[in-house]
Amino acid sequence: MHTVRQLLEAKGREVFAIDPEQPVLAALQMMADRHCGALLVMQGDELKGLISERDYARKVILMGRSSAETPVWEVMSQDLHTVSPDRTVHGCMKLVTEKRIRHLPVVEAGKVVGVLSIGDLVKAVIEDQQEEIAQLQAYISG
């Protein structure tokens, strides 16, 4: 069973972040450029929130707001769930499933050290299952 630390070592620790005072349009452009569905909202090294395509759809478009004039802090999600690098992938899957979230900031000693998406977690679970199946097949045939 993999840990978040192992997953980040394989995936990389690059974090895409935006300042809370930036306009939502800048966040959307960054998401498009980086091919991601969410950005951490950070003021310096401090995690303030997360803005996702879902936040944009629900809090800007449906509310008739201007993405060029609305600052990120007005629409970002603030009630974040974070995980430590020592958490297991299965523990993270349970958390994202129960809380119905798609992104988990990874925090160690008060600093953001990475981000996991639900896609990262699903991929890791599949790899774990494939490894277990291979071991069982080797045991049965050996």
pLDDT, tens digit, for every residue of 82-127? 999 999 999 999 999 999 999 999 999 999 999 999 999 999 999 8
Domains of the chain, residue spans: 4-141
* Residue 1 reports pLDDT greater than 70: no
Q: How far is CA 36 from CA 3, 23, 108, 110, 139, in A?
A: 23, 17, 23, 24, 40
Fold that domain 4-141 belongs to in CATH = CBS-domain (3.10.580)
Q: List, for residues 51-67, the tens digit of each pLDDT value.
A: 999 999 999 999 999 99
Question: Which one, of 83, 101, 128, 116, lies nearest residue 9 by Cα?
Answer: 116
pLDDT at residue 142, rounded to an integer: 78
